[in-house]
Amino acid sequence: MAKIKVGIVGGTGYAGVELLRLLALHPGVTLQVITSRSESGLLVQDMFPNLRGYLNIEFSEPDVSALKQCDLVFFSTPNGIAMKMVPELIEAGVKVIDLAADFRIKDIKVWEKWYGMKHACPDYVEQAVYGLPEVNREAIKGARLIANPGCYPTAVQLGFLPLLENKLIKTDFLVADCKSGVSGAGRGANVATLLCEASESFKSYGVPGHRHLPEIKQCLESFSSDDKIDITFTPHLVPMIRGIHATLYGKITSDSVNVADLQTLFEKKYALEPFVDVLPAGSHPETRTVKGSNLCRIAIHQPQGSDTIVILSVIDNLVKGAAGQAVQNMNIAFGLDEKSGLNIVPLMP
């Protein structure tokens, strides 16, 4: 089979270098072009020396005509960039996977409020497929435009999904207490994410409101028969590079539910999923057990036999939370083996 000709717009951030790591060894892909206005002319390996010997390509000026020669373009750009270029690429028959948030929120007004800008192509939002394969695999197969999910929303959805779609959990008071490694904050020069500021410390941020909240709400509501889900989402910054840990809380809807049933439910739900691993009863997943891989590992608890359920869900924010899920979506959209290029044993220790 001919290799997929891939272009990348952006790619100088952490999701970008992770995408390059995965594509460099992907057997079904040729990287044709990678554009960056600021780094044009620089060899990719001079910015990311881990890629020395694996990639020999330089950043080039953004150029739509070059991107149109691709079968697929990934956008690994700040929010608000992809929406300006996507229509032209889609019309030219190029598939697009956007790792940013431009096409994730169906309600344009909500998007514009949280992202603080006017949307450039609302029509494309409508046709975009939300790229969570565990929910939308069939739609992804035929998609032209895929909105790659946010990192927190991925971990939260995979944890709540079996409970909500089976009406096992009350929707009036859910809590998603989430913790992310610092790479989630990006590769920009920023005092707050210096080693001397962010290591040996722990804090929350965005408690009054974080952009992943509307994405989480939209998705959870789509799983549920309830019109409205009341969820409190609190992100925290963990002094480590990679990993997200979502600790999810809710009340069961019926006293007859017990944790053994839930364990079985989760195991069945995800039995055929290549990248969701339901741990044995009683487990506490560690983020390091998914480091560098596309896996989500989940455990289910019912502390003290009470009516509160606690779900623990971990991913690598740069892989299942970004670049790996994007590759998974590409594999599905192009009819490749879904695990192609993603057959990676997590690096531990």
Task: Please identify every residue annotated as catalytic.
Answer: 151
127 lines the binding site for a copy of itself (CB under 8 A):
no
Least distance from a copy of itself to the Cβ atom of residue 129, Å? 27
Site stretch for a copy of itself (CB under 8 A), options 109-117, 128-136, 150-158, 185-193: 185-193
- What residues numbered 40-79 form the site for a copy of itself, per CB under 8 A? 48-54
β-strand 244-251 against 129-130: which pairing, if any?
A: unpaired
- What residues numbered 265-304 form the site for a copy of itself, per CB under 8 A? 277, 279, 282, 284-293, 295, 297, 301, 303-304
Q: Which is nearer to a copy of itself, 1 or 196 (CB)?
A: 196
* Residue corresponding to tokens 């997943």: 285
Q: Which is nearer to a copy of itself, 85 or 156 (CB)?
A: 156
How many angstroms separate the CA atoms of 124 and 135, rounded?
20
One-character DSSP codes across 248-262: EEEEBS-TT--HHHH
* Cis bond upstream, residue 349 (ω within 30): yes
Least distance from a copy of itself to the Cβ atom of residue 264, Å? 18
Q: Which residues are within 8 A (CB) of 166 and not within 5 positions of it... i.e. 6 or more apart?
A: 265
How many angstroms separate the CA atoms of 270 and 228, rounded?
26
Site stretch for a copy of itself (CB under 8 A), options 16-24, 67-75, 125-133, 160-168: 16-24
Give the residue among 237, 80, 250 at the shortest CA–CA distance from 156: 250
Burial (CB count <10 Å: 0-12, 13-18, 19+), residue 194: exposed
Q: Which is nearer to a copy of itself, 90 or 159 (CB)?
A: 159
Q: Which is nearer to a copy of itself, 67 or 330 (CB)?
A: 330
* Residue corresponding to tokens 């990311």: 48
How many angstroms separate the CA atoms of 163 and 253, rounded?
10
Task: Check: CB of residue 174 under 8 Å from CB of residue 248.
Answer: yes
Task: Check: CB of residue 293 under 8 Å from CB of residue 269.
Answer: no
Q: Which is nearer to a copy of itself, 88 or 221 (CB)?
A: 221
Least distance from a copy of itself to the Cβ atom of residue 236, Å? 7
Least distance from a copy of itself to the Cβ atom of residue 150, Å? 18
Q: Which of 80, 187, 267, 334 binds a copy of itself (CB under 8 A)?
A: 187
- What residues numbered 17-36 form the site for a copy of itself, per CB under 8 A? 17, 21, 24-25
Q: Which of 182, 216, 219, 298 binds a copy of itself (CB under 8 A)?
A: 182
How many angstroms separate the CA atoms of 2 and 84, rounded?
29
Q: Which of 209, 258, 264, 337 binds a copy of itself (CB under 8 A)?
A: 209
Q: Which of 40, 56, 190, 264 binds a copy of itself (CB under 8 A)?
A: 190
Count of residues near a copy of itself by CB under 8 A: 85
Q: Which residues are within 8 A (CB) of 246 and not within 5 positions of it... i.e. 6 or more apart?
A: 152, 155, 156, 159, 176, 177, 178, 179, 311, 312, 313, 314
Residue type, 23: L
Convert residues 140-179 into a mask of x (bound to a copy of itself by CB under 8 A) and - (unbound).
Answer: ---------------------------------x-x-x-x
- What residues numbered 93-122 form the site for a copy of itself, per CB under 8 A? none
